[in-house]
Structure 1
């Protein structure tokens, strides 16, 4: 994929952020594989017990490399945010996040940058589920866990056309990153998913980039119990906040009426029917046809309204690159 710029626009300055935590075995190889199109490489030592920052500083001779150090471990999200801040301060245009464990191919970097530079997206992320043949290499538990996470992420983030939400191979335009609340974004395992929620609140365009899954004999750390206990509440919270922001605080539409009215009719009809069914069962008499109709009608209408809201929400996925609009607003 070729990286091109619009006439009159300067060439993009590309930065790579590498969170560094116990990756001293692979990180030098990752840095060496990063192509010449990258201007800066930020290695963020997230209070690594192996002193990976000092290791890179002493062993790596690449002049593009800058080591950023944390006094306290902040998690992968905190490391990426620190890398974003450093890249923005240095005037970078596009920032790519690559892990330092060698699982992400730096040769794919242009695939992630090109849609942003070409004005097709503000944020790109990897999708390991694109090639069905390669999905078979993925451990079964990780495959199931990613499917569950993807469904929850679609609801909470509003990006219904995305999959593989935990994929950490990402790229973002600096102008869009400036509008993100870095201090509010989750700093640990929920980071990639929370990023999508925050991007939706500013109407950023996000697309998936097909990539192969690389798995060896390592044991998956993805645990279903962790998904349910740690992520479920956060997804519900983000879903409620997204609906409030997009449909009531910043904008009002027919869908703003469809959801509450649909839920009211759906729950009211179901509650009415349940109460009268219990009363009839206790009395030992069949429920009358009229009572059944009174309960069924609001349930049917309410379900239709909720489905209409869902269809509107799916069709409202941001498609226009935000960074182009921000560029036009500049004097």
Structure 2
């Protein structure tokens, strides 16, 4: 690119921080770059990121045509830093929320602006410098090559890539990965909590962005919407990178909250994809499986009541409960199998 994004660093209370002051450079006329003929945008959601937002912006590759830095009503110096960057970098577009809406809403604000400006592919890089910009081409290439419409980073593929990830963070990510597979119908997908993503313009045009979940959990919700619209998702392996940032996620409550979101998304996906937009009997397999499993659990509890409270033989009611449980489990497995087959069928359109 024809300019630099490198700010001067200053020591504040013993900690390196960005002041928003820049070395004056003679800036030639700005010529918008492209990546393999595509106009690339990066959305940077930021909430109280004064310590790391400068690091993030300074490392964004030169082939990025637009950087939409969305300040989600920060109470620190984040906006001042963004404004200072924008004075010396024509590719940076600072956006601001007057009230805190959540990281999902901040990303949607960036997505909408990218659509307005005619960007071809839009990536997301958090403002905490957690996403290595050297892997951005790996996220872009499958979309440029028309192999998919959405790429997402995958830190769970191997132990070395998980380096720096705490046990509870890994456990939480793994749990939500399984739940998101079921809810979204992307059975080969991994690490849905990874916010390092890229999406095609046509996907953004087709999805109702106003319906995307506004806070943490937006990435899981977005996957469900992509699946209903028939878009392919590809995982891009990259190592986890942690530093000075502090996660704002409390996994004990986050998993419960996102689980409720995924249950609603799952039911909505079945309704839209297999009843409204088309028809597939897997809906009835899911329904029958859930019904039989529920009856079997109730029957099992009654069997123990029948045995220990009424002092009657447990064999017949327990065996019946186990048989019903087996039928319900088999029905769910059939439903999941048909769901996987549907994903494979849709992926053939990209090959």
Q: Shorter chain as normaliser: what TM range?
A: 0.7 to 0.9
**After superposition, where does 1:273-284 map in structure 2 within 5 Å?**
275=302, 278-279=305-306, 284=311
CA offsets per residue over residues 187-231 of structure 1, 9 Å max, x none? 111211111122122121111111111123666544332134422
Q: TM-score, normalised by structure 2?
A: 0.80
Write the distance in 2 (CA, Å) between the matches of 1:15 and 1:189. Answer: 22
Compared CA separation, residues 212 and 47, structure 1 to 2 (3 A): same
Would the aligned equivalents of 1:20 and 1:53 in 2 still touch at CA under 8 Å? no
- Name the structure 1 match of 2:24: none
Distance 1:231 1:256, change over 3 A: closer
Superposed CA deviations along residues 91-135 of structure 1, whole A, max 9, x for unmatched, are 110001111221111121111111111111111111111232232
More contact order relative to length (CA 8 Å, sep ≥ 6)? 1
Spell out, residue by residue over 1:148-204, the C-alpha distance to the aligned partner (whole angstroms, 9 max, x if none). 221221222222212222111111001111112222111111211111122122121
Change (3 A) 1:281 1:144: closer
* 1:124 matched to 2:144: no
Structure 1 unaligned spans of 5+: 6-10, 325-331
Structural RMSD (CA):
2.9
Match of 1:33 among 40, 55, 59: 59
Q: Residues 204 and 322 of structure 1 are in contact (CA less than 8 Å); yes or no, is this contact kept in structure 2?
A: no
Equivalent of 1:50, from 76, 90, 97? 76
Q: Structure 1 pair 34/295, CA: closer, same or farther in 2 (3 Å)?
A: closer
Alpha-carbon distance change, 39 to 256 in structure 1, aligned in 2, over 3 angstroms: same
Please list, as runs of the form range in 1=range in 2, the aligned pairs for 1:169-318 lying within 5 A after superposition.
169-216=196-243, 220-268=247-295, 271=298, 275=302, 278-279=305-306, 284-286=311-313, 296-317=322-343
Unaligned runs of 5+ in 2: 1-33
State the Cα distance separating 1:272 from its structure 2 match: 5.4
Are 2:155 and 2:240, in contact at CA under 8 Å, matched by a contact in 1?
yes
The 1:318/1:84 distance shift into structure 2, 3 A limit, reads: farther
Q: Measure the CA separation in 2 of the matches of 1:189 and 1:17.
A: 16
| Residues 35, 63 of structure 2: 8 Å contact kept | no
| Match in the other structure for 1:329 | none
Q: Distance in 2 between the 1:124 and 1:4 partners?
A: 16
Paired position in structure 2 for 1:19: 45
Aligned to 1:8: none
